[in-house]
Amino acid sequence: MKILVAGGAGYIGSITTERLIKAGADVVVFDNLYQGHRDAVHPQAGFVQGDLADKTAVESAIATHKPDGVMHFASYTLVGESMTQPFLYLRDNVMNGLNLMEAAVKHGVKGFILSSTANLFDDPERIPIAETERIVPGSPYGESKHILERNLHWMDRLYSMKYACLRYFNACGASAERGEDHDPETHLIPLVLDVALGQREKIAIFGDDYDTPDGSCVRDYIHVIDLAEAHILAMQALLDGGESRKYNLGNGRGFSVKEVIQTAREVTGHPIPAEAGPRRPGDPDILIASSETINQELGWRPQFPELRQIIETAWNWHQANPNGYEK
């Protein structure tokens, strides 16, 4: 299969590209390199530097490479930022995604995969969260993904382009060659590992008075390689003539912020000082996915469900690349 990966220089996109190539796919990465890194792109992948806001560039990439499938990872992804800069999300994420969809339907792309999010489920009624949970976006970020999911519904109905929306919970971990390198970094695991590397003094625990066993937030940490494999299975199903679908993707288990820090201490041998501070606005107590549907329909199950394995892979990458992709 030939796949165009929009955002293939970013964290999840670059590792999915690596796994696609390992699985024998032909891959072209389309990325503006605002947040992604050229060095993260697998050397066997084609590369087009371009912006999804540029309709001509997107269309030309699709017309030239004629992919069977498109995977869309390229977007703004921070809940907190979306509360202060909503237009980046409600306009740019939506418009950029639509430009990609329009080019895809125009050139007969058969399968489209959207990186969606657990932020569709603010204040869920049931944990673990199944696909039947009502959608209540928790921020303009979540809303932008909800709108794109709806847009894909129309792409299928009007143009028969089949799609899968994969709602990720907390992506983490690394492959041997690729890992998480955001600027600024806001995610818990890389920040904790920065402390172990001596690049930060301590980690702040954002609230220890939540309604959880140890008072800190519980999240579903899912290894990035497991996410990548879910993309490949979902794309194969679409290209084999399967119907459009939406899946919640997580480990099925929750770990608290304090458990993450404690496990990182054990993995790194560093004391990792931590200090409880105020809550971060918008954080619910517990988010855990039910990935039963993708397990039953595609046979997907996480290969790296243990927090220790997740942190070990991230630690190996951070130790080997203490400055990320910057040489």
Q: Which is nearer to ligand UDP, 126 or 202 (CB)?
A: 202
Q: Name the helix (H) or strand (E) containing 155.
A: helix 140-159
- Size of residue set near ligand UDP by CB under 6 A: 15
Cα torsion at 141, 145, 151, 152 (round to 10°)?
160
Q: Which of these ranges, 121-129, 137-145, 185-193, 290-298, lies near ligand UDP under the rule CB under 6 A? A: 185-193
Residues 198-227 that bind ligand UDP (CB under 6 A): 203-206, 217, 219
Q: Number of helices (H) and strands (E), helices first, in the chain? A: 11, 13
Residue located via tokens 């995604």: 97
User: Residue 6 interacts with ligand UDP (CB under 6 A)?
Assistant: no
Rounded CA separation 24/140 (Å): 37
Q: Which of 56, 64, 186, 319 binds ligand UDP (CB under 6 A)?
A: 186
Catalytic annotation, pick one of 11, 89, 141, 221:
141
User: Residue 257 interacts with ligand UDP (CB under 6 A)?
Assistant: yes
Nearest 5°: the CA angle 271, 277, 278 is 155
Assess whether 221 carries a catalytic annotation.
no
Q: Which of 188, 233, 235, 289 binds ligand UDP (CB under 6 A)?
A: 188
Residues 16-75 that bind ligand UDP (CB under 6 A): none
User: Residue 114 interacts with ligand UDP (CB under 6 A)?
Assistant: no
Residues 6 or more apart in contact with residue 36 via CB below 8 angstroms = 7, 8, 9, 10, 13, 14
Q: Which is nearer to ligand UDP, 239 or 276 (CB)?
A: 276
Pairing label, strands 221-223, 274-277: unpaired
User: Residue 82 interacts with ligand UDP (CB under 6 A)?
Assistant: no
Q: Report the nearest approach of ligand UDP to the CB of residue 100 (Å).
A: 23
What are the DSSP calls for 80-118, one per residue? HHHHH-HHIIIIIIHHHHHHHHHHHHHTT--EEEEEEEG
User: Residue 12 interacts with ligand UDP (CB under 6 A)?
Assistant: no
Q: Name the helix (H) or strand (E) containing 233.
A: helix 224-239
Annotated active-site positions, please?
141
> Which residues bind to ligand UDP, rule: CB under 6 A?
79, 170, 186-188, 191, 203-206, 217, 219, 257, 280, 283
